[in-house]
Structure 1
Amino acid sequence: MKFLFLCGLLCLGAHDASAQDRQSAALLWIPAAGSDITAELDALDKCAACRLTIALSPEQAVPALRTRLREEARKGRLELAVRAAGDPPLPLLFSPDSPEVRWRGKAQTALWGSRLDILASVVFQARNSHEEMYGAPPSGFVPAGGGAIPQMLELLSAYEISWLAAGPADSAPFTVTLSSGILLLPFHPADSMEALGNLLMQAGGRISIQDQNPPQLPEEDEDTALAEPSAIAEAAQAQSTAAVQSAAAPGKNILFAVVDESLSAPESYRPLLAEFMSAQESGQDVEWLTVSSAAAASFVSAAALANFPPPWTEDYSAWAGSLKQRAALHTLGELRRAINVAANSTSGGHVKPKLVSGLEQLERGDKLLLFASTDTATASAIEEEFRQKVATLYRQAGLTVPPSLRDSLAIAEPEVGDEAPQISTASAAIKAGDSYLLIENPQKQLRIPAKYHTLPGGADPQQLFNLQSILVSWDEKTIKFTLRNRRPERQDRPLLRQFVIADLYMDINSRRNSGTGIFLPERRLSPNPDDAWEYAVSFSGQKAQVYKTSLAGIQAGRSYNTRQDKSGDISVEIPRSEFRGNPKLWGYTALIMAASDTSSDSSSPEQNADGDTVLDWMAADKMGSSLSSLHAADRL
């Protein structure tokens, strides 16, 4: 009878007690994919005290249901949050080496690569699909299991999403945090009336006032609102205003609770939820709010959390805890990489839509869960279906099907070590225009060499070495390479040219082993054989050194003086005659290091405590110590 309590919870608090005396709470409901929610909507319509936020799977939102949901949202009692189709565990799939992504049995380095560009694409598509279906942009994003990583905050902010549903932080389990313009909400899973009652008491008993003036959610741009009026958006704003005026008593936390049915086995899906909606239980003084209303009324901390919140599932073991699941994830990583390489060599990086769609189907979280099913027949059936679909995609891409797919999925994993996983592993994103190409690098926690732990003027070494972007622009005569990092304070940016070494490697033809299969000396990483490079530019000190490959190996060409403008950007212009080909079609890989000798323009890097010289990298993928190039036309 798991989850029978849901509807009754929403009707708690139908007392005449004032809002000042009541505990405030918000409930997020994530229905099981394929389940019918009509009865619950009927009951919600009859419950005047009920407020609910629902994250519905896009597959469930048939036209008739969308119309009804829009009507309920206009009444102000229902809020619609966005949820990606298939509930893919995004950080696990596309940033497995991130320190926030943990699972039972995780080794030092994940055996499938990081691709934040794909993660960004999934979020973007989910957001746009939601707006198309419901006629208004979503306020919040609900990832599978509440699993998120810090890099997702900047993405959501760019996509004008206001809040992210995550698990509770260990250090502040009921505190709402504002980071990168996004409200990070601490959702607590509840599966019984007793569990919810305990959470309400805990939230009500903890005082965490960070700001005596609760901030409003970011308001919609006025011009946009006038041009595209939305009844749903107006209702959400009204909820937020009312919540600020009446919801939370000073010093009280608002409880954010989640009923997540997406992780349940089919036999555990909720039956007869409407019975509880109609029960009108009133055993506690609780004022239920939509999530956006509760977020607007919450006291918000702008202080950085000591650790990024884990999922409300605690980790990613639900999707990667079994050997079969990890073997499937590894197989997916190999398939995606093979399709990527084939596309680069045959179609300028463009991947056929049917291949993209096929990969998305294989990455569904609900399918990954079934690999760990205790029902042997179910687990065997999902594995057989998976292997057949993978083989089909290899054939559709014009590739040879790996012989390993004929047998049961298996993987050889390194032993789990005691040391923490590698920190700098998130991938970069790339954009291109007619005469430029921009590589954007997400900020990460880097392992900085000891000699740079203290910098002149108290500059932050993490900010200094987290290079923000690389711009490549060109005309008929020159190619201009620009390093940008505006994360440090303006007065600290001159240190970039003094302390940072940045290599940019260019693969002009995407041909296997056609070029150099090693980076410059002391880099301790290597390019993927399919991304062997022909040209490189290394920034160090006041110079930018050009390198080329030949049958004799790596050849140092001319060096050019760099310049640093008032904003701190470091640039160099190099004649087109130094290079051949179209820069827009090249593959790019960048390495970021700290200078060993700051008194000269030497490109020799300093080691950190782990003996590594490369502090950060910008690439499409990383498998072990091998990096795959970024391509502007790469749709994956």
Structure 2
Amino acid sequence: MRALLLTISFLLFFCRAANAQQALLWIPADDSDKGEVLDLLETGKDLKLTAALGSLPKPLEEKAKKLSANGRLEPTLRAQGDPILPLFYYPGEQSVSWRNKPSTPIASNDQYFLALRLTQAKDAHIKTFTLPPQGLVNPPGGFLADYLPLAKALGLSWTAMGPAVSTAASVFEFGGFYAIPFIKYSSQPAPGAALTFTVFDETLPGEQAETRRGLLSFLKTKPDGGWLTVSQALKLATSTSASAAELTAALPWSGDYTPWAAAPAQTGALSALAKTRSDLMRYLNEKQGDYKAARDAFEAYFAAEDTQRLARLASADSDLNREAETETQNSLSDVYRLMKKNPPVWLFSGLAGALDNEVAQDKLSVIVDTAGFRAVNSSRTPELPARSPELSKDSDPYKVWKLAAFETALGKTDTVFKFYPLQTDNSQRSDAGFSYARFDLYIDINHRPRAGSTKLLAGADGRLFPDNAWDYALKVSPGVAAFYLATHKGPKLLGQAAARLENGAVTVRAPKTLFGGNPLSWGYAAMMLAPEGGDKYFITDYIAADFSNGYFYALKLR
């Protein structure tokens, strides 16, 4: 009965659509028989089709290139693995909705990864088809305001999006870039004589076979208005100017992102991906921003962004569900292995628990009064270096390398800086009361962009955000602390002081005259570091306003 109803709906749809000019967008599933459609396109001389093909075997690649050269096939840009860009990189946006969406954002917006994915997709497209693509297709058709500057910079002309509040015949224009609302073929209204943009998306969970049948049947019809590629149809369509906010409000053609995000394991997987991206950016910092040196870890991460596997985390089949979770955990473990880091504990506690841990985690808190301030860190798990120093048998490395709090006390003649590790290890029996650990403090006094240094002190890899460039820095090692001034020639040593453990805090006193100004108006970034061998140190934990997109952001008290 279901098959009969589907057949009837196909026939009704195709009869209605035959009067209109048709611009079809085909998004095949990666594991589907793409040759079936390309063969039909090759033999049907009047057919034209726009397709986001993805990867192709060599014989089909040659056939697609020939069809493209003849103007019969318009290939579009499509990121490998179909990462759902709005869901993965902008989950906090109001338009990125799904059933049971947490009120606390899973992650902050990540324009770096968005730009990286689109740039790599364009490079792969040109490698295959030689000519640059005109259109961007990211199933299931969500829209991001950040598409606009990136797409224009990449030389793209249009992007496919879900249906807007008006009709499918409306095209939206924003500064010379076009957003085209597509209607799923299965929900296409009677188009009359209007130009119609229709999408056949085989990547939607559970719809691959049905969508392919619909596409093959549709391509055997003969619309009176003829077949057009999307770029050809765009020249005939009526466009309407729109703001980025208006475009962002449009929903994907799937309706929302529920099939990939509603199950607890799916939401937890999205949280795990976001945490791994943050660790990847820190790793890139350690490589001084050299992407080539970090490429293997990034490629492993992209392989972990498997949209089909993400959908299987909601499967009613417990075996499929369990298999998808194990594959996700193993994929992310590979990323940490390639970064030469131990996989975090949360990765193997179950993906549903990854979100629970994130939501339950308390946030950084700051208490300020006239005598100074105290910043109490979140319960974020510290990162351990690959070659961790040998600690005392009673020491817990996850406590030893955790910076629990940082404090600044204002005295009459000096300023006191206090670093509180969650647990102190003194396996080397240092007179200072602690061993191995190094503490860095970066102080932004003037809050002027690039007025200072963004590079961390020698031995530490990382950068401060340019607006938070440090003017003064403090490096604390067992027994001694060194004060530095940022100069155009590099850090200048200003002086030294004792560094000792006092009442659970590594404490340093500096003369008030050393810095000048009001410490309560400064910006701070405090870090705890572990030796990795030689002169290299590894940042295990930090107290700052944020760490994102490869930058530490200074904590401002006012």
TM over 0.5: yes
Structure 1 position 503, deviation (Å)? 8.8
Who is 1:509 aligned against? 456
Who is 1:404 aligned against? 346
User: 1:107 aligned to 2:102?
Assistant: yes
Asked whether the 8 Å contact 1:355–1:396 carries over to 2, the reply is yes
User: 1:388 aligned to 2:330?
Assistant: yes
Structure 1 position 152, deviation (Å)? 0.9
User: 1:548 aligned to 2:472?
Assistant: yes
Matches within 5 A, 1:55-94: 55-58=52-55, 61-94=56-89
Asked whether the 8 Å contact 2:29–2:208 carries over to 1, the reply is no
1:53 corresponds to which of 34, 50, 55 = 50
Structure 1 position 320, deviation (Å)? 1.7
1:502-536 superposed Cα distances (whole Å, 9 cap, x missing partner): 79785432799x9xxxxxxxxxxxxxxx9796997
Who is 2:31 aligned against? 34
Who is 1:156 aligned against? 151
Asked whether the 8 Å contact 1:11–1:281 carries over to 2, the reply is yes
| Structure 1 residues 109 and 406, CA gap change in structure 2 (3 angstroms) | closer
- 2:472 partner letter: K
Structure 1 position 142, deviation (Å)? 0.3
Asked whether the 8 Å contact 1:506–1:536 carries over to 2, the reply is no
1:331-387 superposed Cα distances (whole Å, 9 cap, x missing partner): 122222223324434666655322111100111222222212222211110101111
Asked whether the 8 Å contact 2:278–2:549 carries over to 1, the reply is no
Asked whether the 8 Å contact 1:50–1:77 carries over to 2, the reply is yes
1:319 corresponds to which of 255, 260, 267 = 260
2:205 corresponds to which of 248, 264, 267 = 264
Who is 1:25 aligned against? 22
| Structure 1 residues 51 and 533, CA gap change in structure 2 (3 angstroms) | closer
User: 1:369 aligned to 2:311?
Assistant: yes
Q: Distance in 2 between matches of 1:547 and 1:504?
A: 7
Q: Distance in 1 between matches of 2:209 and 2:57?
A: 24
Structure 1 position 112, deviation (Å)? 2.6
User: 1:133 aligned to 2:140?
Assistant: no
User: 1:331 aligned to 2:272?
Assistant: yes
Who is 1:627 aligned against? 547
| Structure 1 residues 577 and 82, CA gap change in structure 2 (3 angstroms) | closer
Asked whether the 8 Å contact 2:281–2:549 carries over to 1, the reply is no
1:447-490 superposed Cα distances (whole Å, 9 cap, x missing partner): xxxxxxxxxxxxxxxxxxxxxxxxxxxxxxxxxxxxxxxxxxxx
Who is 1:200 aligned against? 191
Higher relative contact order (CA 8 A, sep 6+): 1
Q: Secondary structure at the match of 2:68?
A: helix
User: 1:576 aligned to 2:488?
Assistant: yes
| Structure 1 residues 510 and 298, CA gap change in structure 2 (3 angstroms) | farther
2:230 corresponds to which of 277, 286, 291 = 291
Structure 1 position 87, deviation (Å)? 0.5
1:107-135 superposed Cα distances (whole Å, 9 cap, x missing partner): 34422343211111111111121111112
Q: Distance in 2 between matches of 1:341 and 1:49?
A: 53
Structure 1 position 631, deviation (Å)? 5.8
Q: Distance in 1 between matches of 2:225 and 2:16?
A: 4
- 2:145 partner letter: P
Structure 1 position 314, deviation (Å)? 2.5
Q: Distance in 2 between matches of 1:404 and 1:14?
A: 52
Structure 1 position 77, deviation (Å)? 2.7
Asked whether the 8 Å contact 1:162–1:183 carries over to 2, the reply is yes
Asked whether the 8 Å contact 1:139–1:161 carries over to 2, the reply is yes
Q: Distance in 2 between matches of 1:343 and 1:510?
A: 17
Which 4+ residue blocks in structure 1 deviate beyond 4 angstroms?
1-15, 269-275, 346-351, 500-507, 530-538, 549-553, 577-581
User: 1:169 aligned to 2:169?
Assistant: no
Structure 1 position 266, deviation (Å)? 7.7
1:524-568 superposed Cα distances (whole Å, 9 cap, x missing partner): xxxxxx979699769xxxxxxx85345899x9x9xxxxxxxxxxx
Q: Distance in 1 between matches of 2:98 and 2:267?
A: 10
| Structure 1 residues 511 and 178, CA gap change in structure 2 (3 angstroms) | farther
Q: Distance in 2 between matches of 1:14 and 1:345?
A: 57
| Structure 1 residues 89 and 629, CA gap change in structure 2 (3 angstroms) | closer
Asked whether the 8 Å contact 1:32–1:261 carries over to 2, the reply is yes
User: 1:179 aligned to 2:174?
Assistant: yes
Q: Distance in 2 between matches of 1:503 and 1:335?
A: 29
Q: Secondary structure at the match of 1:200?
A: coil
Asked whether the 8 Å contact 1:345–1:510 carries over to 2, the reply is no
The TM-score normalised by the length of structure 2 is 0.62
Q: Secondary structure at the match of 1:146?
A: coil
Q: Distance in 1 between matches of 2:216 and 2:464?
A: 65
Q: Distance in 2 between matches of 1:399 and 1:107?
A: 30
Q: Distance in 1 between matches of 2:168 and 2:338?
A: 48
| Structure 1 residues 172 and 579, CA gap change in structure 2 (3 angstroms) | farther
- 1:184 partner letter: A
| Structure 1 residues 580 and 343, CA gap change in structure 2 (3 angstroms) | farther
Q: Distance in 2 between matches of 1:320 and 1:274?
A: 28
Matches within 5 A, 1:232-251: none
Q: Distance in 1 between matches of 2:73 and 2:118?
A: 22
Gap runs ≥5 in structure 2 = 361-446, 494-519, 523-542, 553-558
Asked whether the 8 Å contact 1:372–1:379 carries over to 2, the reply is yes
Q: Secondary structure at the match of 1:400?
A: coil
RMSD: 4.2
Q: Percent identity?
A: 26
Rg larger in structure? 2
Mean Cα displacement is larger for which, 24-33 or 403-412?
403-412
1:387-443 superposed Cα distances (whole Å, 9 cap, x missing partner): 12222322332212222333322222659xxxxxxxxxxxxxxxxxxxxxxxxxxxx
| Structure 1 residues 628 and 190, CA gap change in structure 2 (3 angstroms) | same
Asked whether the 8 Å contact 1:178–1:184 carries over to 2, the reply is yes
Structure 1 position 310, deviation (Å)? 2.5
Q: Secondary structure at the match of 1:23?
A: coil
- 2:102 partner letter: A
Q: Secondary structure at the match of 1:256?
A: strand
Asked whether the 8 Å contact 1:11–1:49 carries over to 2, the reply is no
| Structure 1 residues 4 and 508, CA gap change in structure 2 (3 angstroms) | farther
Asked whether the 8 Å contact 1:39–1:274 carries over to 2, the reply is no
Who is 2:372 aligned against? none
